[in-house]
């Protein structure tokens, strides 16, 4: 039996809650890997004026603390 067939059989026999748990763990792993791209600025870094509207550099705008809305 190859590894792929064994893995497919294991996934087919898993309860739905276990599959959901595996998907949540994989989602966390993807977010962790791409974290520098998702939130490129530090939490204390000042990057713009207060309450700037959304634009290319600030896709979510800025808030009252003059930080973009993608804090780490």
What pLDDT sits at residue 15?
A: 94
Please, which pLDDT band fits residue 35 given cuts at 50, 70 and 90? confident
- Assigned token pair, 57: 């550099």
Q: Which whole number is the average pLDDT over 10-26?
A: 93
CA pair distance 32, 55, nearest whole angstrom: 25
**64 Cβ contact partners less than 8 Å away, ≥ 6 residues apart:** 50, 51
**Residue ranges per structural domain of the chain:** 3-33, 41-72
pLDDT digits (tens, 9 = 90+) for 51-71: 667 666 676 667 766 555 555
Answering whether pTM is above 0.75, one says: no
């Amino acid at each position: 039996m190859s590894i792929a067939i064994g893995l497919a059989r294991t996934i087919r026999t898993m309860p739905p809650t276990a599959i959901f748990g595996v998907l949540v763990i994989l989602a966390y792993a993807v977010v962790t890997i791409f974290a520098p791209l998702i939130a490129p600025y530090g939490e204390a870094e000042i990057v713009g004026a207060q309450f700037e509207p959304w634009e290319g550099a600030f896709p979510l705008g800025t808030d009252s603390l003059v930080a973009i809305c993608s804090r780490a």
